[in-house]
Amino acid sequence: MSARFMKGLLFGSVIGAAGGLLFAPKKGQETQAELKQVFDEGLANVQMVQQDVQTVQANLLQTQQLAQEILPTFQKELAQEIEDFKFQANPRVTRIREQVQTLKQHLDAADFKKNKI
């Protein structure tokens, strides 16, 4: 739907609602009381939404500040843990490569003996 159509629909709804209230077979005081109640409820809802938006904004700001404080420390610790892991893993990887090489030599020797027979 186009924006123009939506504006027309909204405007028509407001005019229709106002006309319905004004021409309803109720006393003026009753209509005024209903309008005041609807207006007060709408105002309360708007204020509640504003408070919710402010709360969300404050929480977002607090989360951003906390992230800015925590992330550098976390990154340093993670980098250190990665370096520690590499330091511990390198000798193990070297031993595994040596064992694989030894196994290959044994398999080659066994295959050579098998082919000789």
Cβ 15 vs Cβ 7: under 8 Å: no
Percentage of the chain exceeding pLDDT 70 = 89
What's the Cα-to-Cα distance from 61 to each of 6, 50, 56, 58, 67, rounded to whole Å? 35, 16, 9, 5, 10
Question: How many structural domains compose the chain?
Answer: 1
**Nearest to residue 22, comparing CAs of 13, 14, 31?**
31
Neighbouring CB atoms inside 10 A of 21's CB total: 14
Tokens of 45: 């809802």
The whole domain housing 98 covers 3-116
Q: Is 40 helix (H, G, I), strand (E, B) or coil?
A: helix
Q: How far apart are CA 29 and CA 41, in angstroms?
A: 18
Q: How confident is the model at residue 68 (pLDDT cuts 50, 70, 90)?
A: very high
For residue 64, what are its two tokens?
Answer: 């951003």
Q: Quick one: pLDDT band at residue 52, thresholds 50, 70, 90?
A: very high
Residue 100 has pLDDT above 80, yes or no: yes
